[in-house]
Chain A
């Protein structure tokens, strides 16, 4: 089976940097995705890592270490609007269908 672990909640101050970790166990791993969801709204895709290393997209970066079965989402220059839930999701097996973690609630304080 597959399992993903991520913290349930992270808090940070506006303007700071925060890292949301995700560890996974799966067979036939292809890659790791990240999604953002505001207040029960539609989840939106943020990033995808198939290879080791850091991918940067504006204020958000995502990292993957395949050997450690570990990844993280890095959010810089935090803004209040970044308060949301963040989900990691693994692609594995033959179907390329994401299996989601339980999500991390990020709370950004002024």
Chain B
């Protein structure tokens, strides 16, 4: 089983719908992240959390919210999806040790299409 699991892997939805992408990890890491990837734009940080009570906005947080339900779970929500949120979304984890070298452990991604 994967250490960082994202669900769903693929989702097609309509404009205005609420969508939740879920991430769970078995690595025991305290830090979790949500990134968005668009062709030619690399990976851009949406939100990050260094522990259960810590939530921080990233570069592109508008239109998104997150919930850190437990150390192992970090969910990303789109309250009212719009077509330009069509992208590949990645969850990632690190701990204070690996994080100091920039080493993140990524899930397999959730491909979201908003029609």
CB atoms of A31 and B48 under 8 A apart: no
Known: A97-B48, A100-B42. A45 touches B88 (CB 8 A): no
A101: chain B residues at CB < 8 Å are 42
B106: chain A residues at CB < 8 Å are 42-44
> How many B residues face the partner with a CB closer than 8 A?
27
Closest A residue to B2 using CB positions:
A42
Known: A97-B45, A100-B43, A102-B42. A45 touches B103 (CB 8 A): yes
B84 CB within 8 Å of chain A: no
Name A's interface SS.
loop
CB atoms of A48 and B40 under 8 A apart: no
B59: chain A residues at CB < 8 Å are 99
Nearest CB of B to A9, in Å: 11
B40: chain A residues at CB < 8 Å are 8, 102-103
A97 to B35, CA, bound (A): 11
A83 CB within 8 Å of chain B: no
B42 contacts which of A45, A96, A103 (Cβ < 8 Å)?
A: A103
A102: chain B residues at CB < 8 Å are 40-42
Chain A residues near B (Cβ < 8 Å): 8, 31-33, 40-45, 48, 50, 87, 89, 91, 95-103
